[in-house]
């Protein structure tokens, strides 16, 4: 008997192909690269974290640009082609070096030591001016201080437990929650003390050039519109609760994820100072650096230091994620950075590029104006 048989058509979805691709049965990595996600990539990130290359606080299982940069750094350290893609050779080398890089101590050197020093510097424990990549007595002392602070065995060696705790501790404090918004709605025709308050503040900021009358007319409305445009609010010309609080510097735009903020800032250390710069590809001036990092959080800030100062909420002492301001030339705020804890802030300095400095440094201490929250 003859049976008419046709081969069954199999449709492979992209998800199914990815699953096949990401989970080989021979223990090899195949090719992992930007855009992929799987439990195996989470294990990859953990391996890179243990060696000090992956500095994001948690292993996510998603292969993004942070993972790509960590892979490139590892590949460079073991003299593999720097592609940012985890092929079989890279994966094998990661597994091969797991034991040797699980613990760093005096005499160790390489990129993993640089990452360790950078993280300890972010936390305020490593005070040597340069990131050297050599694990000497100063690095060991920094590790001991950290271990003592976090109640780990004080060995001076960066073992797996210490490295994991360092990653967890990069950001430990959160900004305080803001007060509820006040109900307010000032528009053309409004009068009273609130209108005078708004006009006074707009005049201080250079938006309102007429006499302070307490009457909300078209001149006041146009000044409000210009302010709203500059701080990326809808330009209605009406002072609602959000506009009022931004104008008076009383409320943050939205909740800030300080963990991601500091992690993003750490990736930019060493970027050059460029007047007017606001991208990693070109470089940053001090306000461009801050605007770029806050924009990654979905938070829009004005472009100049003086304008950023004018819309922030003053705080008596800074917490991680607050912006600290300095008077370096003319009267008023002219330089700023992001506070990262332990009396340290990260900023783009004209002579240093993106770097970490101490509020206790004699230069910055003498010029410190205060801190504000956003």
**157-207 pLDDT, tens digit each:** 988 788 878 777 764 533 444 444 446 889 998 998 999 999 988 887 767
285 has pLDDT over 80: yes
Identified catalytic residue from 59, 142, 247, 286: 286
102: confidence class by pLDDT, cuts 50, 70, 90: low
Distances (CA, A) of 24 to 21, 44, 179, 273: 6, 14, 52, 45
The mean pLDDT of 38-59, rounded to a whole number, is 78
Cα Rg for the chain, rounded, in angstroms? Answer: 26
Q: What does the CA dihedral 257, 261, 263, 266 come to, rounded to 10 degrees?
A: -160
290: confidence class by pLDDT, cuts 50, 70, 90: very high
Q: What is the mean pLDDT of the chain?
A: 80
For residue 360, the model assigns a pLDDT of: 93
The mean pLDDT of 214-229, rounded to a whole number, is 89
Q: How many CA atoms lie within 13 A of 99 on its CB side?
A: 1
**Does residue 71 contact residue 86 with C-beta atoms inside 8 Å?**
yes
Concerning whether 347 is annotated as a catalytic residue, the answer is yes
Concerning whether 286 is annotated as a catalytic residue, the answer is yes
Distances (CA, A) of 136 to 104, 121, 133: 10, 15, 9
pLDDT in tens, 326-352: 999 878 899 999 999 889 999 999 999
Identified catalytic residue from 271, 335, 372, 373: 335
Three-state SS at 165: helix
Distances (CA, A) of 130 to 114, 202, 289: 10, 44, 21
242 burial (CB, 10 Å; 0-12 / 13-18 / 19+) is middle
For residue 355, the model assigns a pLDDT of: 94
For residue 132, the model assigns a pLDDT of: 84
69 has pLDDT over 90: no
pTM above 0.75, yes or no: no
Q: What does 45-71 look like in DSSP terms, one character per residue?
A: HHHHHHTT---SSS--SB--HHHHHHH
pLDDT in tens, 263-275: 889 889 999 999 9
Identified catalytic residue from 72, 121, 246, 347: 347
220 vs 176 pLDDT, higher one: 220
Distances (CA, A) of 27 to 30, 92, 212, 334: 9, 10, 74, 55
* Residue 341 token pair: 């804890």
Share of the chain above pLDDT 90, in %: 26
Least confident of 57-61, 143-147, 171-175: 171-175
Concerning whether 85 is annotated as a catalytic residue, the answer is no
């Amino acid at each position: 008997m003859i049976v008419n048989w046709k081969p069954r058509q199999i449709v492979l979805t992209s998800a199914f192909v990815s699953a096949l691709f990401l989970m080989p049965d021979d223990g090899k990595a195949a090719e992992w690269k930007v855009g992929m996600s799987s439990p195996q990539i989470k294990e990859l990130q953990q391996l890179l974290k243990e060696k000090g290359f992956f500095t994001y606080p948690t292993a996510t299982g998603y292969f993004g640009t942070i993972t790509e940069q960590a892979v490139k750094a590892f590949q460079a350290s073991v003299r593999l082609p720097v592609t940012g893609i985890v092929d079989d050779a890279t994966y094998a080398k990661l597994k091969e070096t797991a034991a040797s890089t699980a613990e760093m101590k005096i005499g160790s050197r390489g990129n993993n030591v640089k990452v360790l020093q950078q993280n300890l510097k972010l936390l305020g424990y490593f005070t040597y001016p340069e990131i050297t990549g050599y694990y000497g007595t100063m690095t060991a002392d920094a590790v001991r201080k950290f271990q003592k602070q976090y109640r780990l065995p004080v060995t001076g060696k960066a073992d797996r437990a210490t490295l994991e705790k360092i990653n967890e501790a990069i950001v430990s404090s959160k900004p305080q929650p803001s007060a509820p918004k006040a109900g307010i709605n000032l528009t053309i025709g409004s009068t009273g003390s609130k209108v005078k308050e708004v006009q006074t503040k707009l005049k201080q900021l250079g938006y309102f050039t007429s006499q302070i009358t307490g009457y909300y007319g078209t001149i006041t409305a146009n000044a409000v519109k210009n302010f709203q445009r500059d701080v990326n609010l809808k330009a209605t010309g009406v002072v609602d609760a959000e506009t009022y609080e931004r104008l008076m510097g009383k409320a943050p735009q939205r909740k800030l994820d300080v963990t991601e903020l500091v992690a993003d800032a750490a990736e930019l250390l060493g970027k050059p100072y460029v007047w007017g710069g606001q991208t990693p590809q070109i470089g940053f001036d001090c306000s461009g650096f801050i605007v770029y990092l806050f924009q990654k959080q979905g938070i829009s800030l004005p472009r100049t230091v003086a304008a950023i100062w004018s819309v922030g909420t003053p705080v008596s002492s800074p917490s991680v994620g607050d912006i600290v301001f300095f008077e370096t030339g003319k009267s008023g705020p002219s330089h700023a950075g992001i506070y990262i804890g332990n009396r340290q802030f990260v900023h783009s300095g004209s002579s240093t590029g993106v770097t970490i400095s101490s509020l206790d440094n004699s230069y910055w201490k003498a010029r410190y104006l205060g801190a504000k929250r956003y």
